[in-house]
Copies of this chain bind each other. A is one copy, B any other.
Amino acid sequence: MLLNKLLHDGDHEDLAEERRQATFNTDEMAALIWGGKDILHRRREITKKVEEHQELHDPCSQAFMTREEAILDAARKVTKMVSELDELEVNPMDANEMFHLIKLFKSRLINSFFSEVIGISGHPLALHGIMFIPTLQAQCSDEQMHWLEKAVSRQIIGTYAQTELGHGTNLKKLETTATYDAKTQEFVLHSPTRTSMKWWPGNLGKSSNHAVVVACLIIDGKNYGPHNFVVPLRDANSHMPLKGITIGDIGPKMAYNCVDNGFLGFDHFRIPRMNMLMKHVKVSPEGKYIRPPHAKIGYSAMVHVRAHMISTQAMFLAQALTTAIRYSAVRRQGEIAPGKGEVKILEYQTQQHRLLPQLARAYAFIFTGIAVRKHYQAVQKDVAVGNVEGMAELHYITSGLKAVVTHETGQGIEQARMSCGGHGYSKASNMSELYGVAIGGCTYEGENMVMLQQLARYLMKSAEAAVNGKPVGQLVDYLAAPGEKYSTIDREQDKGYTGHIIAFRRAAGIQVMRAYERLRSLRSQGLSEEEAWNANAVELTKAARVHTRQYIARTFYDYVNSVVDVPCQEVLRDLLHLHLNYELLDMSYYLLEDGYLTGHQINHMKEELYRLLSKLRPNAVSLVDAWDFSDRELRSVREFSRFS
């Protein structure tokens, strides 16, 4: 029986040859990736329906459009998508429900629909769906729900305007002000400096006529810090900026060029009191500030976005690898045995080493994404019954994951791109666009160096607890149990790779404690808390990175061990073992320095790595096939992908 379900008549013979070698059922694997066979089935229906509906296609590749053409085309398509949703029958949710559009942007299948029609470069309604509506939903008081209704029915189109030219990371220093005028019961929005100009909000440039604006609330000369206000920006009929509003597009970017990121300035622009979002905080008509019942409402949205970023980034990497690995199976260049003909470039060990450890990472990130989303849902349930403890821990986990996964995804896509030689440099492969979009993740939703230090704060607190014999969280239980004295990595009996997992824990433990001790030592030399932190910041980010890589390895390990389908589990175990050897070799510095690993063990891991590259090579194409991307989703010219 042929196990690769993508094998079909008309396949390029070189690809068919690969597909015939699959040792596992690609549909079984795809069901693991996409969350069940029913979802997989619906995904394929979407692909088919989009194929049939020509009005959802691009007239030509976006790479050949001007930016304006590409944005207009995206606007046309997204409007068609939303209005034809029922007809297309692709929304498994109740289409009549009020929060329709929210689910539209959130559900897995809707993501598939967007992936087919829109691709990765964004569209004019992006922020309306992923930021404007959810913010209104979370922060409108009962009497403000009319905003939400208007947004959902798209009578108004909005975005979320927070970042300014001068401040992104340090939100406390945002300069836009909203001064309450009790006489008229209005807030006066103002941009006092050039750096106070809002800068970057998506879809602010041209598409939105409203925004949730973050501004410092001032009442009677007192600054209450950043608060959220619903602000009309443009005339509902003419779409011209309202008086007192300076607004426009900030111009082209590395990628995401179908999103019109914009700037926005206010010149004493007045809005009614009830335009401040008041579900939690209130300002009374006479100007009394009423605090929220408990202060820590914040985390949830950030954690939600970062948890989802893991999966999104994993899919960027997966798409790049699909194109690169299929290309490597049809591109023939050079001979290995002289006179025996040119070989597929996937036969070269260097090519396998470029691609297969990245393939393992993509699988690791996908399963980590699934695990984190599950974790998030569990924490949300706890929060709903008033137990908010888990949210902080999840914040730390997702901060570290966001930084490590975006960084490694970028590296992996570039390796995939370059493994296609010149053809990867051509926009026809779509790989430079994938890189441009994915690498943005290192910067947005919390710059990576800042994210790593967020996690490091938790790690330092835990180290302090461990040193003082106090209990530590499960996340860092390696601090309380520094593991075995000698590694079992090269022992014959360690088929289950537990020695590798222990080594990861050990590496994390070593670097976390090293960073902790250096911090203590710097403080004892007379540096203040903050100076010591800064003088130790590189070691701290390293601790956060090693911890997170350990977390990913462990999550991958646990997931693979839970897989029921035996042939799927077998090939996943090969991928897992490749991952464990590759990552541990890359991090061996920490363990060698400590004397934990011997040269013999390093050598054993290297030989295992090379053995696994060879062993996985025949399944390589089937492992990317199992991601089940359509040619339309990949947006790489067919000659590079399926060769059908």
B-binding residues in A (CB < 8 A): 63-64, 66, 163, 167-170, 173, 199-200, 250-254, 333-338, 342, 347-351, 353-354, 410, 414, 418, 421-422, 424-428, 432, 436, 439-440, 442-444, 447-449, 453, 528, 530-531, 534-539, 541, 588-589, 592-595, 599, 602, 606, 610
| Cβ distance A87 to chain B, nearest Cβ, rounded Å | 35
Bound: A593/B595 CA distance, A? 9
A353-B538, A418-B443, A589-B592 are known contacts. Are A251 and B425 too (CB-CB below 8 A)? no
Shortest beta-carbon distance from A539 to chain B in Å: 8
- Say yes or no: B422 contacts A163, CB within 8 Å: yes
Please tell me if the beta carbons of A253 and B342 are within 8 angstroms of each other in the complex: no
Looking at chain A's contact residues, the main secondary structure is: helix
Q: Which residue of B lies closest to A531 (CB)?
A: B336
**Bound Cα distance from A541 to B425, whole angstroms:** 23
Complex copy number for this chain: 2
List the B side residues contacting A335 at CB < 8 Å.
170, 530
| Seed contacts A169-B333, A253-B432; 20 additional CB < 8 Å A-B pairs | A66-B66, A163-B422, A169-B334, A170-B333, A254-B426, A335-B530, A336-B531, A348-B449, A349-B535, A349-B537, A349-B538, A350-B449, A353-B537, A410-B414, A414-B439, A418-B442, A425-B443, A538-B610, A589-B592, A595-B599
Residues of chain B contacted by A528 (CB below 8 angstroms):
337
Q: Contact check, B530 vs A336: say whether CB atoms are below 8 A apart.
A: yes
> In the assembled complex, how far is the CB of residue A316 from the closest CB belonging to chain B, in whole angstroms?
16
Cβ contacts under 8 Å, A63 to chain B = 251-252
Assess A64 versus B173: contact at CB under 8 Å? Given A349-B538, A538-B610: no
Nearest-CB distance from A201 to chain B (Å)? 11
Cross-interface CB contact of A253 among B425, B439, B448, B530, cutoff 8 Å? B425
A443 cross-chain contacts in B, Cβ below 8 A: 418, 421-422, 424-425
Q: Which residues of the partner chain B approach A251 to less than 8 Å between Cβ atoms?
A: 63-64, 426-428
Q: With a CB–CB cut-off of 8 A, which chain B residues contact A535?
A: 349, 610
Given contacts A251-B428, A253-B425, A334-B169, contact A541 B66 (CB under 8 A): no
